[in-house]
Structure 1
Amino acid sequence: MIPVTVDVGAEAVVTEVQRSSRTYPLGVSRPDLEVADLPTPEEVFRVSRIGPRQLVMFVVGPSLIALGISIGSGEWLLGPQAVGQYGFVGVGWVITVSALLQTFYNVECARYIVATGEVPVVGWGRVPPGKMLWIPLSAFIIIFAFIAGGWAASAGQGLFALVNGRVADPSEVQQTRWYAMGLLVLVFLITALARRISRALELSNWVMVGLILATLIVVDLIVVPWNVWWEGIRGFVTPAAPPAGITATQLGALAGFTALASGLNWYVMAHYRDKGYGMGHRTGYISGMRGGRRELSSVGVTFPDDERNATMWRRWYRLLMVDMWGVFFVGAMLGMLLPTVLMSQAVVLSGQQPTQANVPTFVASALQPVYGNGMFYVMLLIGVLILFSTQLGIFEAMVRVVTDALPAMGPRMRELVERDPRRFYYPFMIALLITISIILHLALPITLVQFSANMSNLGALIYPFMLIYLNSKLPRAARPRPWHYVILILNFLFFGFFFVNFVADLFGDPLITF
């Protein structure tokens, strides 16, 4: 018997749904998965058929939340700074390889969720030696990687400039931090006022990502000459040695935050469960404070190995591929190309190079003398939206990962969180908000972002192998093909190299210098 909550108006009615007594063993230290039929997409999204209109309105969503994070620190800060200083050739290919590998990796993370309804931080507990190691360690790695708050500090810089009509000088850095903290409070309010948190994030990113890409396309067509467009595109597809002077830490940060967060991308994939993809429909979601009480099962459900469910799995997998390759990958590549060609032209126009201190507002300042105050404010607004969409996704995901992890650790935590996750979710979000607000004072935003990006590469040394273990044990219809495992190993080699070099660089002896 699995508790399922059905929202009726403002009320939540808890019913019991009888499922098959069969279970499916998977891994160690966690209860066996229960077994039930895969729901149909039409049942989940409450439509009669899935056509192009329904695909856009109801099915696409988790990739937009990931894309809102993706078009952020890497695309607006690290990529443009690297291109502005060193050009496209030798830098662009790192962006392309990173985006391709990360999208493959995202699909494999989402595969496990769609097949079991369990989010990755819970699934890791099924990997030997078990939950007491992998679940708390994984939650700690996510917090440690992103708590530096560079994404928040950068958004604060942009918002200060937008409000005041000028870039903050060094004596005003504290005011930019206050703006950053205000934006953290805004994230809290967005989640608190939502009925269903994932849906609120989807709608927010529909607006922000759509406006960002549309505006950047128009501005780039006005500002950027065709030869710079060509250099950007050529740089993305031309393998070449990194340019002299760039550090492996800079390249590693660029690789880590291109597309999303390399080996730690799994921390955003829980939205496939909340959206109801596949077996996520059977395990629940985290509701907002305006939503009814919603139970969230910490033990997943998988499907029987029969023809009906194999056919249904293929349908869900096609929808996943559309969401990831058609929306996330295309959007991530545009999100990197458009700001980098714009930065390249801004360097030409200004005759200056972006620095760690001014990169969040460099383009706006460079375009102002040529195109006027209107362009200055447009670019500041786009910069704020880019960095706030990242802030929204990262901050919420940090809270979500810990909220999902706790019930899997034992009965006491399950009692605290599982019946109503909001009892932990919102107090922890407030505690995290205070902590990040303190850390913001420790370094320049771009330095904090580079730290987070290189820490993201740490995940590539661990989680590809855990995915191989878990996905190889799924029902046969859901298991990856052999070449998918090869791609996961390539993630380990590519991003893992940059992390090892980052650690060596911290001790003053990088493995490779350029």
Structure 2
Amino acid sequence: MTEVQRTYSLGVSRPELAVADLPTPEEVFGVRRIRAKELVMFAIGPSLIALGVSIGSGEWLLGPQAVGQFGFVGIGWVITVSAVLQTFYNVECARYIVATGETDTVGWGRVPPGKLFWVPVSLFIVVFAFIAGGWAASAGQGLYALVNGHVADAAEMQQTRWYAIGLLVVVFIIAATANRVSRALELSNWVMVGAILGILIVVDLIVVPGNIWWEGIRGLVTPAAPPAGISATQLGALAGFTAMASGLNWYLMSHYRDKGYGMGHRAGYIAGMRGSQSELLTVGVTFPDDERNAGLWRRWYRLLLLDMWGVFFVGAMLGMLLPTVLMAQAVALSGEQPTTANVPTFVATALEPEYGPGMFYLMLLIGVLVLFSTQLGIFEALVRVVTDGAPAVSPRLRALIEHDPRRFYYPFMIALLIVISIIIHLAVPVALVQFSANMSNLGALIYPFLLMYLNSKLPRVARPRPWHYVVLVLNFLFFGFFFVNFVADFVGDPLITF
């Protein structure tokens, strides 16, 4: 008698999910027991890729610029609220991936009216938000100054763009030479994020006086009206890129699949060009609703919470506090304020007269690491979401690439590299970053509700608790307000002025 394959119906327009037992964490990570050492070596990882993006455009550019111009109080609470809401949102985005092995990019196709609407719309929104390339252009500015020993003037800006393009090529090389792309990004971010936070802690303890430390910490926890002169659009950009990318954070969560969290272990991963590509499922797998799998789900969920709250949230808060207090001291020493044109190199220039050329080069190096870690995560993720989404809705494309995602991933990465290389010539880097940040807030008007739909239909033990839905609505209200204000400001007058 032939055994009937079990399936699980979830949403509309996509095939039913296969059903299989959850793997154990020990099985996935190839260890006998998950202890502290194994957590660090094997389980922690996707949060580091997200943190590499997090400690970037918001923390090194937008946050320090806002604090340098307006101070901490009235701005810091926006940072804290944004980080809390985004970390919670990240967990909810990852919940779906861990429970089904499908990335959110593909999962949106299960929400009415279905895949032919939500997948193309989602790909368009996330690519449109980040293709401006402000993160790449800012990294190019920092690298130019590091190599040449001085900040580029107006006549040298074209050269900084060539440096930015060179760094995009470096991202391609990292992905192409990896066995598993996600693992290469993890290891790169272990080095870069560790160096960034470690050096900033030491420098800040040496350079920043106690009163500025106190003002920075107080600002993060003090509810207060925004300072006079700051625009809601600036605050929206800061909120959008504090921690990561507000409503569009889902575009980075697919690394939980590639890491093998939960049912991601059954779904596969994207291999590098020299790695062995196993089948990457275009339809996910979920688990039966029984006692054994319920216990395993709780173990995976605890690992997810540890990865996000213990690594990402703590790192994101440090990543915002350390550069902003340093910026405040740089403003005090120089008597000047950062602008959109000079913020990527402002701290290095301001500290050099007091601490010498060694500090100038050290700060430029940190700036390059900060912005390159962002560049690495965003550029790869733009390629990844399209690689996940396009074959999921196009049987013809699946046949064309012969079920090997690399046949799409690497050609598309080259094409995207060329497009971004053209776009970064159109505006100053920080203006491009502010545009991307406010576009990220658009996602908060849409995707919290799509997540509510998807996660409410998971196996019972994996479904969110009622209060989780309340927090997702808070994401919609907080970040959505800033996007609506951004649109109002763009076409006429902002909703609110300070």
TM-score normalised to structure 1 length:
0.96
The structure 2 residue matched to 1:61, chosen from 21, 35, 45, is: 45
Per the alignment, in what secondary structure is the counterpart of residue 437 of structure 1?
helix
The answer to whether the aligner puts 1:211 opposite 2:195 as a matched pair is yes
Cα distance in structure 1, aligned partners of 2:359 and 2:135: 23
Q: How far apart are residue 294 of structure 1 and its match?
A: 2.4
Q: Does 1:484 align with 2:468?
A: yes
2:136 to 123, 132, 152: 152
Q: Distance in 1 between matches of 2:403 and 2:296?
A: 30
1:383 paired residue among 345, 367, 373: 367
- The verdict on how the C-alpha distance between 1:249 and 1:417 changes in structure 2, with shifts beyond 3 A counting, is farther
The 5 A counterparts of 1:449-464 are 449-464=433-448
Shift of 1:416: 3.0
The 1:266/1:417 distance shift into structure 2, 3 A limit, reads farther
The one-character-per-residue Cα deviations of 1:392-415 (angstroms, maximum 9, x if unpaired) are 000000000000001211311222
Report the secondary structure of 1:488's partner residue: helix
Of residues 413, 416, 422 in structure 2, which corresponds to 1:438? 422
Please name the residue that 1:4 is paired with: none
Structure 2 residue identity aligned to 1:192: A
- In the TM superposition, 1:331-480 aligns within 5 A as 331-417=315-401, 419-480=403-464
Partner of 1:196: 180
Q: Distance in 1 between matches of 2:130 and 2:195?
A: 26
CA displacement 1:432-471 (0-9 Å, x = unmatched): 0000000000000000000000000000000000000000
Which residue of 1 is the match for residue 228 of structure 2? 244
Provide the rounded CA distance (Å) in 1 between the counterparts of 2:218 and 2:310: 22
Any idea what the Cα deviations from partners look like across 1:104-140, whole Å, max 9, x if unmatched? 0000000000000000010000000000000011011
Q: Secondary structure at the match of 1:28?
A: coil
Which whole-Å CA distance do the structure 2 matches of 1:501 and 1:272 have between them? 33
Give the aligned partner of residue 8 of structure 2.
24
Give the conservation status (yes or no) of the 8 Å contact 2:270–2:277. no
Secondary structure of 1:441's match?
coil
Using the alignment, how far apart are the partners of 1:259 and 1:419 within structure 2?
34
User: 1:407 & 1:348 partners in 2: Cα distance?
Assistant: 53
Match of 1:511 in 2: 495
Post-superposition offset of 1:419: 1.7
Deviation per CA, 1:247-281, whole angstroms, max 9, x where unpaired?
A: 11100000000000000000000000000000000
- Distance, in Å, in 2 between the alignment partners of 1:349 and 1:19 is 75
Query: Hey, what's the Cα distance between the residues in 2 that align with 1:20 and 1:393?
Result: 42
What residue identity is the alignment partner of 1:503? V
Distance in 2 (CA, whole Å) between partners of 1:242 and 1:121 is 35
Question: 1:292, CA displacement in angstroms?
Answer: 1.2
Q: Distance in 2 between matches of 1:416 and 1:327?
A: 40
Q: Distance in 2 between matches of 1:234 and 1:415?
A: 57
**Alignment partners' CA distance in 1, 2:341 and 2:400:** 43
Deviation at 1:293, TM superposition (A): 2.6
Aligned pairs (5 A) from 1:25-40: 25-40=9-24
Unaligned runs of 5+ in 1: 1-17
Partners of 1:150 and 1:229 in 2: how far apart? 29
Offset from partner CA, 1:136-175 (integer Å, 9 cap, x none)? 1101111100000000000000000000111001110000
Q: Tell me how far apart the structure 1 counterparts of residues 418 and 18 of structure 2 sit (CA, whole Å).
A: 40
The 3 A distance-change label for structure 1 pair 223 and 439 is same
Contact 1:457–1:495 under 8 Å retained in 2? yes
What is the aligned counterpart of 2:27 among 43, 47, 63? 43
Aligned AA (1:46): G
Identity of aligned residues (%): 81
List 4+ stretches of structure 1 deviating above 4 A.
none
Aligned to 2:303: 319
5+ residue gaps, structure 2 = none
Aligned to 1:274: 258
CA contact (8 A) 1:297 1:418 kept: no
In structure 2, distance between residues paired with 1:94 and 1:418? 47
SS at match of 2:271: coil
Contact 1:65/1:393, CA 8 A, preserved across alignment: yes
User: Is 1:75–2:59 an aligned residue pair?
Assistant: yes
What SS class does the counterpart of residue 34 from structure 1 fall into? strand
The TM-score with structure 2 as length reference comes to 0.99
Give the distance between the partners of 1:425 and 1:275, measured in 2 at CA: 18
Q: Secondary structure at the match of 1:359?
A: coil
TM superposition shift of 1:417: 4.0
Following the alignment from structure 1 to structure 2, what is the Cα–Cα distance between the partners of residues 290 and 205?
21
Q: Alignment partner of 1:419: what SS?
A: coil
8 Å Cα contact 1:115/1:302 also seen in 2: yes
1:100 to 65, 75, 84: 84
Call closer, same or farther: CA 1:418–1:282 in 2, change over 3 Å: farther
Contact 1:62/1:271 (<8 A) preserved: yes
Contact kept in structure 2, 1:253 and 1:454, CA below 8 Å: yes
Corresponding residue of 2:207: 223
